[in-house]
Chains A and B, each alone.
Chain A
Amino acid sequence: MAHVTFMSLSDRDDGQMLLMAGFIVAFGLIAITLMLSDILYATSLASEASMDPVKYDFLNLQQLANSETKNAYKSSTINGYTNWSTFEKYNSNYIGNISKIYAGEGYAIKVERGSPYEVRFTANGLLSGNPEWRVVGNATNIYTFKIYNYNYSVGDSFQIDVVNLTGIRLYSVKINTIITIINRTGAISTISLTDPVDLLAIGDTPFTFNTNTQGQTYSIYFNNGDQIAGRFNITGKSASNQTFIKARDYMINSTISLTSSRARLNITTPVSVPW
């Protein structure tokens, strides 16, 4: 005869409690999984922040502001005379229209130009800039080399050096209360100060620029450029047969600010004009 056991009511309740406990554990696991999933999603959102194109657009705007300050000056300057009214009109039209483009992309921008101020003969045109730097490299011909509207302090020693590819100094000019020329052989000649200083016209043979540099490929260096302020203009041809212009008349501060829903950026850059 088969042995039959009957489950009591208490045993059945225990079974249901165990089942409920199982459900609770399962829900807990689902909740933890969803939380981890959300954490992963949040991490992805953080990395997505790097997609914010504001930095890229700001750099583009800054480059444009610099190049358009130069272009505004160049287009307003004819035969050494700058029409500042034309300069302002160029700026006004440029700023008004570029603002419309950026507004369409969700940015509010502001571009301001400061008043022109004198250029130091340093690498970046500022008093704090590198005073010893190469202005022209690998030149074979110089067509214009003028320094004008300059001012200096007595005792200062701004010097221009022309050095060939093997490092030999071909020609040097010191500008102070007098102009001192040192030629290729080391001989010295002095002449009285003029403004402008036309380096292609000063000195007699064998102290002229062309006599000492003819047939050579050379670089032009400015030394102690922080001790003189003014304007310079150098044009010529390089060894690769390309013409070049290196000229500075003024420094102009260009200030741009860009505001988006996420960021606000503001920067002032000193720009040398025309180059």
Chain B
Amino acid sequence: MDDNAQMQTIEAVISAAMMMLIIVFSIGATSITPLTSSTANAHVEAELQTLGEDMLNILDYTQDIESPSSLRRDILNWTGSRYVWNGSCYADQANKTGIPLENNLTNLLSFSLKRRGIAHNVEIIYFSSDGSTLNSLPFIWDGDPSNNAVSVSRKLVLHDREVGSTFNATGIRDMDPQTDIYNIIVVKLTLWRM
């Protein structure tokens, strides 16, 4: 009987374990990309989140409570169309040769995001007319977001006195006829790297 057989078996097992560990570790170390769900990706998401929050802060800033913010004005002037990027501007998806959408929101989106290759959606979440459910409408649409997308939102209260007749076309209705509250909306900005 060979006394060395046991030692050789242990060596073989340890060698196999080492090879397995090396393979697992190598795969884990080399597959980190900006789109991988990993520690590196967390930083990308944090950057996008901060960027989105800053953008909404800038758009919703108003010096005087009597004058509406840029974001509020842009929402109130919206007619419910879905706008997509056609390579040079945000065009109505149903009528791409029509007048492009140009306002403070689109100016900031194209300046801050389009130039840097950051895809984005802007959705408006609003209450149904009886206030029982929350619905969503796409305002600006780049497509379905990837797994590493982040969302930031801004809540706005729309009032009866500031809503014009064209706003009816959006489908957002007065949820509270008894008071000056027209609807409470959430402007949701979703960002992701392409």
- Report which residue of B4, B14, B186 has the largest number of chain A beta carbons within 10 angstroms of its beta carbon: B14
Q: A23-B18, A98-B155 are in contact. Are A53 and B49 (CB under 8 A)?
A: yes
B179 near A64 with CB under 8 A, answer no
With a CB–CB cut-off of 8 A, which chain A residues contact B21?
A: 30
B178 near A89 with CB under 8 A, answer yes
B180 near A16 with CB under 8 A, answer no
With a CB–CB cut-off of 8 A, which chain A residues contact B4?
A: 12, 16
B66 near A245 with CB under 8 A, answer yes
Instruction: Please tell me if A41 contacts chain B, counting CB pairs below 8 Å.
Output: yes
With a CB–CB cut-off of 8 A, which chain A residues contact B179?
A: 75, 86, 89-90, 93
Instruction: Please tell me if A68 contacts chain B, counting CB pairs below 8 Å.
Output: yes
- B-side interface residues, number (CB < 8 Å): 36
Instruction: Please tell me if A32 contacts chain B, counting CB pairs below 8 Å.
Output: no
Instruction: Please tell me if B92 contacts chain A, counting CB pairs below 8 Å.
Output: no
Instruction: Please tell me if B175 contacts chain A, counting CB pairs below 8 Å.
Output: yes
With a CB–CB cut-off of 8 A, which chain B residues contact A27?
A: 14, 18
A75 near B18 with CB under 8 A, answer no
A68 near B180 with CB under 8 A, answer no
- A-side interface residues, number (CB < 8 Å): 42
Instruction: Please tell me if B88 contacts chain A, counting CB pairs below 8 Å.
Output: no
B46 near A97 with CB under 8 A, answer no
B39 near A75 with CB under 8 A, answer no
Name the contact of A70 in the complex, choosing from B45, B65, B176 (C-beta under 8 A): B65
CA distance A86 to B153 in the complex (A): 29
Query: For residues 60 through 81 of chain B, which have their beta carbon under 8 Å from a beta carbon of chain A?
Result: 64-66
Query: Smallest CB-CB separation from B29: which chain A residue?
Result: A37
Mostly, the A contact residues are helix
CA distance A44 to B40 in the complex (A): 8
B175 near A71 with CB under 8 A, answer no
A101 near B25 with CB under 8 A, answer no
A147 to chain B, nearest CB (A): 21
Query: For residues 1 through 59 of chain B, which have their beta carbon under 8 Å from a beta carbon of chain A?
Result: 4, 7, 11, 14, 18, 21, 25, 39-40, 42-43, 45-46, 49, 53
With a CB–CB cut-off of 8 A, which chain A residues contact B18?
A: 23, 26-27, 30
With a CB–CB cut-off of 8 A, which chain A residues contact B43?
A: 44, 47
A97 near B127 with CB under 8 A, answer yes
With a CB–CB cut-off of 8 A, which chain A residues contact B53?
A: 53, 56
Instruction: Please tell me if A67 contacts chain B, counting CB pairs below 8 Å.
Output: yes
B158 to chain A, nearest CB (A): 11
CA distance A30 to B154 in the complex (A): 47
CA distance A23 to B188 in the complex (A): 55
Instruction: Please tell me if A50 contacts chain B, counting CB pairs below 8 Å.
Output: yes
Bitwise, A88-100 to B at CB < 8 A (1) or not (0) is: 0110011001101
Q: A51-B49, A93-B178 are in contact. Are A56 and B7 (CB under 8 A)?
A: no
B134 near A94 with CB under 8 A, answer no
Query: Smallest CB-CB separation from A24: which chain B residue?
Result: B14
Q: A40-B39, A97-B127, A101-B134 are in contact. Are A51 and B46 (CB under 8 A)?
A: yes
Instruction: Please tell me if B184 contacts chain A, counting CB pairs below 8 Å.
Output: yes
Name the contact of B134 in the complex, choosing from A19, A75, A89, A104 (C-beta under 8 A): A104
With a CB–CB cut-off of 8 A, which chain A residues contact B114?
A: none
Query: For residues 181 through 201 of chain A, which have their beta carbon under 8 Å from a beta carbon of chain B?
Result: none
Q: A93-B178, A101-B184, A104-B134 are in contact. Are A71 and B152 (CB under 8 A)?
A: no
Name the contact of B11 in the complex, choosing from A19, A67, A275 (C-beta under 8 A): A19
B14 near A23 with CB under 8 A, answer yes
Instruction: Please tell me if A11 contacts chain B, counting CB pairs below 8 Å.
Output: no
A144 to chain B, nearest CB (A): 15
> Residues of A at under 8 Å CB distance from B?
12, 16, 19-20, 23, 26-27, 30, 33-34, 40-41, 44-45, 47-48, 50-51, 53, 56, 60-61, 64, 67-68, 70-71, 75, 86, 89-90, 93-94, 97-98, 100-101, 104-105, 244-245, 275
